[in-house]
Amino acid sequence: VTTLDVNFQDIVESALREKVIQTNANYGTAIVMEIATGEIKALANLSRRTRNDETEYLEDMNYAVLASTDPGSTFKLASMMAILEKGNMKLNDWAANCTGTIMHRGKKFTCDHEHGNINVGQVFEKSCNIGVYKLIEKVFGANGIDDYLGYISNYRLDKPIGFQLKGEKNPYFKNAKDKTYSQFTLPWMSIGYESAIAPIQMLAFYNAVANNGYWVEPFLVREIKEGNTQVDNYDNVKIGKRLASADVIEMAQAMMKGVVTDGTAQGISKGFCQVAGKTGTAQKLDKNGYSKGRYFTSFIGYFPADNPKYTATIVIDEPRGDQVYAASVCAPVFRDIADKIFAYDVAIHP
């Protein structure tokens, strides 16, 4: 007996398929999870395959669990929470003057826009790489990788969740002893590079933030029956201690709402219910390094924003055409799913 809701599953599969086909992407995956219980309500995957010069779309791999990649800007939530916690900072504190490019030990560190003078909250809302860099440098110092990773561990991001479907890998984060560690590791890791984590693992972290800091294990199988006889049932793990202080969790929630009202996801601000979340657009890694123009896009968030019941993640790999950034690829899929689930689940209506 699974936790899936067939109506949610239909909503999620349809929305994901439409965007994967529209953008001619390599693949897409989407998950919807009930915040308080950890129940997976929908889980969809779709691959684009070419055979005999014909393109077809099929579900042949569970990317939600198996696709461990650089998370990109969705990882900035963890970095910002660590900054707020260790630096004892507030959202309206001045953060940086973003000029679009700075030099880090002789190498360019760039941002997609020149954001000018921005505060801590705006760094996250506008997904400012230079703002995150400056704050990490200020709070953790140039060699603060192990201290920083202590917070990542507190947020349970370095641990597998123990998901019931096979194939989950351990998340990967470099430390100072890693043979590929360099002076560039911490700045790049803080904005979602030089690491690897699966979509369902990132979703569990965001779900904890939506759940006022309390981590809940995602699960898919509720019980096993033989006829009408229950053979086994599953009680998932719930952690009774917050991942971070109540103040930091509250600020994290405010920042995610700000992404939709004033930041990179303003395009999905209007709909049946208010949503909160974070866009992520990561350059893909190939043999020549990170490749500009080829992106791994994602959006992770929750809804309704003021009294959340569901979290969801959307991941679409290498979209092509006019739409290649998460704000125009994954965020609209999230809004479509949120609106339809909100319309269907009358229990969450005001």
Q: For position 290, what pLDDT does the model report?
A: 60
Question: Can you tell me whether residue 294 is helix, strand or coil?
Answer: strand
206-215, 286-295, 333-342: which range is least confident on average?
286-295
Residue 46 CB-density burial (10 A; 0-12 exposed, 13-18 middle, 19+ buried): buried
Rounded-to-integer distance, Cα 50 and Cα 56, Å: 6
Alpha-carbon separation of residue 186 from 27, 141, 194 (angstroms): 29, 10, 9
Residue 235 makes CB contacts below 8 A (sequence gap 6+) with none
298: three-class secondary structure by DSSP: strand
Q: How confident is the model at residue 323 (pLDDT cuts 50, 70, 90)?
A: confident
Cβ burial of 182 (10 Å; 0-12, 13-18, 19+) is exposed
Residue 235 in tokens: 């009680």
Q: Over the stretch 233-280, which tens digit does the pLDDT of each residue have? A: 999 999 999 999 999 999 999 999 999 999 999 999 999 999 999 999
Phi, psi dihedrals of residue 118, rounded to the nearest 5°: -135, 150
| pLDDT tens sequence across 146-174 | 999 999 999 999 999 999 999 999 999 99
Q: And the tokens for 17?
A: 């398929």
Q: For 44-95, give the secondary structure using H, E and C.
A: EEEEEEEECCEEEEECCCCHHHHCCECCHHHHHHHHHHHHHHHHCCCCCCEE
pTM recorded for the entire structure: 0.96
Distance of CA 338 to the CA centre of its chain: 16
* Selection from 23, 11, 72 nearest residue 278 by Cα: 72
Tokens standing for residue 35: 């915040």
Give pLDDT tens digits for 74-131: 999 999 999 999 999 999 999 999 999 988 777 888 888 899 999 999 999 999 999 9
Q: The tokens 């779709």 sit on which residue?
A: 46
Alpha-carbon gap, residue 341 to 32, rounded angstroms: 10
Give the strand order in the sheet containing 54-58: 54-58, 40-51, 27-34, 310-317, 289-303, 276-286
What is the DSSP annotation of 231-293? EEE----B-SS-SS-HHHHHHHHHHHHHHHHHSTTGGG--SSS--EEEEEEEEEEETTEEEEE
